Structure 1
C-alpha cells in the first residue's frame, strides 16, 4: 500500500483509485469527488492508502493547503453536502462513496475537537431538522465509538448508518417537527416502516455494504447484543448505538410542541426509560457528555452567565466562558472560567431561549481572534 499525499488528490476531480485506511478497509471508491481543500486536508491527515501498483497522480510533492481548522466551518460544510445527497438520494451517483466520504469528515471533526463538535449539536441552527438531527447522531456516534475502541472501518460504517438512517422519511420528519397534534395512524405506520424502506432505498441507490443496510433496517428496534459485539460490532450493535443516540439527540432538540430538554434532563429521562433494558451504551453516553455538555448555558456561583465549552476532569466541572456578570452587564471579551474552582461552581443550567447574547462559536472555542 502507498500512502497518499496532498499531491495525489485534486479538489473537484474524481479519485482515480479505490482508497483504503491503514488496515486495508475500503474508505472511498474510485470516482469519489473531493469537493473542498478543507475536506482534502482532513482526509489526507487521517491517512489514505492505495495499492502500490497505482501510478502517482502528479510529480513533485505539494505542501499542505495553508488553511486553519475550524470545526464550525467544517460542520456547515458537512451539513450542506449531506442535504444535497439525502434530499434526492436515488438521483445521486456514488451514493455509498459520497456518504462514506462525509462519514470520514465527521470522524475528523469528532477527533480533532470533540468538545466543539458537541457544542455545535446544541448551538448550531436546526432549521433543517431532518438533516441536522442525523448529523447530531453521527457526531456523537463517532465520539462514543472511539471511546469503545472501534476500528476505523467500524466507525465509518456506524457514522454512515447514522447519516442515512432516516433517508426514507425526510419529508415526513420535516412535517412532524412543525406539527402540534399527535401523530395520525397513517403517520405512525410511516414512521414504523421507514427503517426497512430506508435500507431498500439505499440499496437501490447503490449501497452494497450489507452491515450498513442491515443496521439501518434495525435502528428503531431494541437489539439483543452478542457477548463480543461491543468489541467487534455487528449490524445489531451498530443499530443499538444509533438507536440510543437517536433518542437522546431528539430529546435535546426543540419541537413545535415542546422546548428542547437540557442534556442532563434528557440523560436522566433516557436512563429511566432504558435502565430496565440494561443498555450497554447509556453509561458511556452519560459519562462522555457530562452533566453540562459543551454548548450548555450555566449560572455560576459568582453570578456569571457562562457557556460550557469543554468537558472537565469530572462530569460536573466543565470549562466555560463567562458571557455576562450577575448584574447582566456583558463582558467585552468572553472570560475563561474553570468550574472546578470554588468561586466558579455551577449553580444552575439556563435554557438557551433565555440567553440573548450573540454567539461567536469560533471565538469561544479558540478558532478566531
Structure 2
C-alpha cells in the first residue's frame, strides 16, 4: 500500500469517486464509486482530524493525472485558488469485457418476485417449463456474475416479505445453495444448476398455502398441517407429471425435509442436495417474518443451520455458514463505533464483511451510505440489529450499486 495524503478539496462531490478514500493508517473510508453528495457527507466520512489519503497503487491513472495537472498549473504560475479547485477525476473507462457484463441487464428484483410467484402458483400452465427455465437461468447467471449482490437482494427482501413469501423464499434457497455449492463444495456446474432448480421448486405443491400461512395469525388447521407434512413428496410427484425426468432433481425435492444427519459421504447425490436445501430452508425460514411473529436474528438463524438434529456440526450447514459468512449480505449490524449498517458483501473472513452505515452513533440517518471495513478495530462488528429496529427506510436499488 502506497498512501499519499490529499486535500479534502480535491475530492469530487456529487459524482462517483474515481479512487478509494483511506485514512493515514490505510483504513477504508469510502470505496471507489461511492458518491459523496456534499461537504457535510465528506465531513461525516473524515470525522474529527482524519487525514484523507489515496493509495497510489489503487488510484493508478486517476492520481497520476491529478498530479500531472497540478504540475502543469504550477509551471504556468496558476493562482492558489485555482490550484485548490482541481479535483481528481477518473480517466475514460475502457469497455468492460463481455464476460463481465450482464448481457440482459441487471435484474429487477420486484419484477422477479412477481414472476416467480406467478410461475410457482400456476404449474399447470402450458408454458410452465419454459417460464421456469427462464427464471432459473436469470438466477443462476446472477449467482455466477454477482453473488454478493444477489445474496444482499434476497436476504434483504426476505426479512420483510410476507405477501410473496413462497416465491421469495424459493429464490433465496435456490441462490444460497448455488453460491455455497460452487464456492465451498466445488460442485460441477451441472450439479450446481440441478441443485438450484431443485431449490427453486422444492415447495411447488404448496406455494399458495405458504403465502397464506405467512399472513395467518391463527393456528394451522388439521388440513393445513397434513398439506405441509407431505408437500415434499407431492412436489416431486407434481414435477414428474410436468415432465421433469432428472432423477437427482426429483430426489432432492422429495427428501428436502428429511432430518437425516451425517456426512455427505454416506448420502446419495440427491440426498446431499436435499440436505443443503434443508439447511438453506431452515436459514431462510428463520430470517423471514410472519404475521404471527418477528423474524429471528440472522446469527440465530445461522446457528440453527450450523448444528444438526443431534447438536453436532452439520457438514452442509458448516458449508453454508462459511460460504455466507456469520453476517451475510443484507443483514443489519452494529459496530464498535455505535453506528448501524447493512452488510454489502462478504469479507476476507466470515466475521469481517463490508458494511454501509445507515445510522450514526446517535441513531440518526446518515443520508448517504458510508462504507466501513469491519476488519478495522474501530469498525468491528459487535452484534446484529433486527430489521424491525432499523428506523430508516432503505431502497434496495440504492444499496446494490455499492456492492
**TM-score normalised over the length of structure 2:** 0.68
Task: Show the 5 A alignment for 1:1-369.
Answer: 69-71=105-107, 73=108, 75-93=109-127, 95=129, 97-124=130-157, 126=161, 127-147=163-183, 148-223=185-260, 228=265, 234-276=269-311, 279-366=314-401
TM-fit CA distance, 1:130: 1.5
TM-fit CA distance, 1:289: 2.0
Note if contact 2:346-2:352 (Cα within 8 Å) is conserved in structure 1.
yes
Q: Secondary structure at the match of 1:307?
A: strand
TM-fit CA distance, 1:146: 0.3
Unaligned runs of 5+ in 2: 1-97
In structure 1, how many angstroms separate the alpha carbons of the residues matched to 2:188 and 2:303?
Answer: 30
Q: Deviations over 1:102-134 (max 9, x none)?
A: 222212111222222221223225221121111
C-alpha distance 239-334 of structure 1, shift in aligned 2 (>3 A): same
Note if contact 1:78-1:105 (Cα within 8 Å) is conserved in structure 2.
no
Note if contact 2:182-2:192 (Cα within 8 Å) is conserved in structure 1.
yes
In structure 2, how many angstroms separate the alpha carbons of the residues matched to 1:227 and 1:348?
Answer: 32
TM-fit CA distance, 1:222: 2.9
TM-fit CA distance, 1:321: 0.9
C-alpha distance 312-278 of structure 1, shift in aligned 2 (>3 A): closer
Note if contact 1:319-1:338 (Cα within 8 Å) is conserved in structure 2.
yes
Q: Secondary structure at the match of 1:320?
A: strand
Note if contact 1:223-1:239 (Cα within 8 Å) is conserved in structure 2.
no
In structure 2, how many angstroms separate the alpha carbons of the residues matched to 1:260 and 1:45?
Answer: 38
Note if contact 2:344-2:402 (Cα within 8 Å) is conserved in structure 1.
no
In structure 2, how many angstroms separate the alpha carbons of the residues matched to 1:194 and 1:299?
Answer: 39
Q: Deviations over 1:212-265 (max 9, x none)?
A: 2222122111347786578xx721111111111111110111112211111111
Higher Rg? 2
Q: Secondary structure at the match of 1:182?
A: coil
1:19 equivalent in structure 2: none
In structure 2, how many angstroms separate the alpha carbons of the residues matched to 1:286 and 1:261?
Answer: 16
Q: Secondary structure at the match of 1:349?
A: strand
2:40 equivalent in structure 1: none
| CA RMSD across the alignment | 2.7
In structure 1, how many angstroms separate the alpha carbons of the residues matched to 2:242 and 2:305?
Answer: 34
Q: Secondary structure at the match of 1:321?
A: strand
Unaligned runs of 5+ in 1: 1-43, 47-63
In structure 2, how many angstroms separate the alpha carbons of the residues matched to 1:342 and 1:227?
Answer: 38
In structure 1, how many angstroms separate the alpha carbons of the residues matched to 2:279 and 2:396?
Answer: 27
In structure 2, how many angstroms separate the alpha carbons of the residues matched to 1:165 and 1:361?
Answer: 27
In structure 1, how many angstroms separate the alpha carbons of the residues matched to 2:136 and 2:326?
Answer: 27
Q: How many positions carry a matched residue from both structures?
A: 302
Note if contact 2:358-2:365 (Cα within 8 Å) is conserved in structure 1.
yes
Q: Deviations over 1:292-328 (max 9, x none)?
A: 1111112222222211111111222111111222123
Q: Secondary structure at the match of 2:329?
A: coil
Note if contact 1:215-1:236 (Cα within 8 Å) is conserved in structure 2.
yes
C-alpha distance 293-93 of structure 1, shift in aligned 2 (>3 A): same
Note if contact 2:261-2:308 (Cα within 8 Å) is conserved in structure 1.
no
In structure 2, how many angstroms separate the alpha carbons of the residues matched to 1:353 and 1:185?
Answer: 32
